[in-house]
Structure 1
């Protein structure tokens, strides 16, 4: 199982809750689809019991210091695009500022799953057999809903969890 989050926007309470859920569910990997915003969020994410992969979003500030602090907790920086194979699934990880690009990546047929953020709206859709997942915003700053997602890599079932 993979844990997915995005748009945490420095909400430390929400990040601690997400970490708690991911650890409780014993996910194998966590994907953060950007908009971490500040390096200090690494303090909450360091408690993760599984590997963290992340991309930068359009609101991430000091990306050099984010990368430095996240390197110190063992997180893997994917820059603006993650091309990952996790649990035998080929996954694209993007923030998703350009929706046409997200759809093109999904439509390429190269990926089983595309994980994206940016819109703050959780949901799933399929394009040409590729699952697109937006976990929604973990910060709750735009929609008022704080959520993360859990992906069963065997069935590609997605569960959204309010945090």
Structure 2
């Protein structure tokens, strides 16, 4: 199974459409958005040919984001868990590093997906892989001047299953 991972799109329809186009061209089965859509209009392009799951980000101030996601996908609230076959995944926005680290360190999940920092990255610790797909470019440590998303191939083991994709805006 191929899973698309995206975060921190912040109402930028150009990057949302670029992400959806990439996911469709790669034939992903599901997409997970790690929060910070901001407004419902930037949710609707994800109503595409894949299953869709999302968590709430710290900038998702409009509560209609939840009902918009639920109209075609699954809204997980502040955090949630997903199973892709035998692969167990935890998803949170990532506002709290303590929570992200606890999810990684507990050993219950194969992957922990989060955003918030806008810096793409992957880290494997004791059998759990932490994945941040990145987000809109902002001037923070670890981020560059491009928008990034990721894909996760659940048939591959560990960090090698994750590919980051740099998208032009």
Aligned partner of 1:15 in structure 2 is 16
The reply on whether 1:67 has 2:66 as its aligned counterpart is yes
Report the 3-state secondary structure (helix = DSSP H, G, I; strand = E; otherwise coil) of the residue aligned with 1:59: coil
Tell me how far 1:42 sits from its aligned partner: 2.4
* 1:127-142 equivalence runs, <5 A: 127-137=125-135, 139-142=136-139
Offset of 1:128 from its aligned partner? 1.8
How many positions carry a matched residue from both structures? Answer: 159
TM-score (ref. length: structure 2): 0.90
Structure 2, unmatched stretches of 5+, are none
In structure 2, C-alpha distance between the alignment counterparts of 1:39 and 1:131, rounded to whole Å:
30
The TM-score, its normalising length taken from structure 1, stands at 0.93
Alignment match, 2:149: 148
1:103 touches 1:127 (CA, 8 Å); kept in 2? no
Which residue of structure 2 lines up, in the alignment, with residue 88 of structure 1? 86
Task: Tell me how far 1:87 sits from its aligned partner.
Answer: 2.8
Deviations 1:55-90 (A, max 9, x none): 001111112x11122222x11000011111013210
Structure 1 runs (4+) deviating above 2 angstroms are 139-144
**1:19 touches 1:45 (CA, 8 Å); kept in 2?**
yes
SS at match of 1:119: coil
Q: Mark the runs of 5 or more structure 1 residues left unpaired by the alignment.
A: none
